[in-house]
Amino acid sequence: MSTINTIILGIIQGVTEFLPVSSSGHLVIAEHLLPNWHQPGIVFEILLHLATLLAVVIFFRRDITMLAGAVLRPEPHTKDRRHLFFMLMLASIPTGIVGFFGKKFFTSVFNRLDLVGLMLLITALLLWLAEKRITPEKTVVDGKSALLIGTVQGLAILPGISRSGSTIAAAMLAGIAGESAARFSFLLSIPAITGAVLLNLKEISTLPPEQLPACLDGFAAALITGLMSLKLLLLIIKKRRLSFFAGYCLIAGIATLLLALS
């Protein structure tokens, strides 16, 4: 496992974790295309997810602080923040259920290129539908919408289904305004990624010490590009340009299916 490969994969993770194009799908594709790549179990991917988790925490540190303050010191003027916190917890329930019971299946299909291609096409469809929605916009996530978004996030473990893209699209299709949908999606990723990392934390001990420097380089690349991607996506959502990513996922999905067939 070379340093250049870990940095490339770190950049891919950082960019695609937050842009709605599926980080897991792109990692699978990249790992098939990079020469002499040997994945040390799932250790490196755990480190990449830790990097993007840290990126979310840094980027939304003010939101996290305000949510924590509203829950720990409830006051009348923080009612909306407490509602958001409880909706995030509610949405995390179906995510956890899907992830826990579907872990064995998701692991078994993770490296299938044909599945990645098909799921990228589904991501393209979700983004296109979200862009074309005509439902009235609201800024508050209700219980029904939270459960829908959480379920979609659980299914986004499948490589090729963009976690950010599918959850933002689900929220927008439920009538949530784009910026509010994106903020909810990214805050919701914190318990989801934390849970996934904790479930696989013991795997880190299997990492050979000589590979640690290269893995840390990939970690740094994912963190830096993740912070940049977060800012970019919020700008894109504000300008309603999801159709561009729908087109990208469509092309990438078709190309990946062709690659799988070849």
pLDDT of residue 41: 52
pLDDT band at 151 (very low <50, low <70, confident <90, very high): very high
pLDDT band at 18 (very low <50, low <70, confident <90, very high): confident
Q: What's the mean per-residue pLDDT of the chain? A: 85
Q: Where are the domains of the chain?
A: 3-261
Rounded to whole angstroms, the Cα distance separating 21 from 161 reads 8
Q: Say yes or no to pLDDT of 157 above 80.
A: yes
Tell me the range of 12-16, 185-189, 204-208, 231-235 where mean pLDDT is highest: 185-189
What's the predicted TM-score (pTM) here?
0.85
Rounded to whole angstroms, the Cα distance separating 190 from 210 reads 30
pLDDT band at 6 (very low <50, low <70, confident <90, very high): confident
Cross-strand bridge partners of residue 176: 138
For the chain, what percent of residues have pLDDT higher than 90?
Answer: 35
Q: Spell out a b/e string for 24-43, using b for 16 or more CB atoms within 10 Å of the CB, else e.
A: bbbbbbbbeeeeeeeeeeeb
Least confident piece of the model among 2-11, 165-174, 216-225: 2-11
φ and ψ at residue 161, rounded to 5 degrees: -90, 115
> Would you say 207 and 40 are in contact if contact means Cβ atoms under 8 Å apart?
yes
For 67-85, the pLDDT digits (tens) are 999 998 888 888 989 999 9
pLDDT band at 160 (very low <50, low <70, confident <90, very high): confident
pLDDT of residue 45: 77
Torsion angle, alpha carbons of 95, 183, 120, 201, to 10: -50
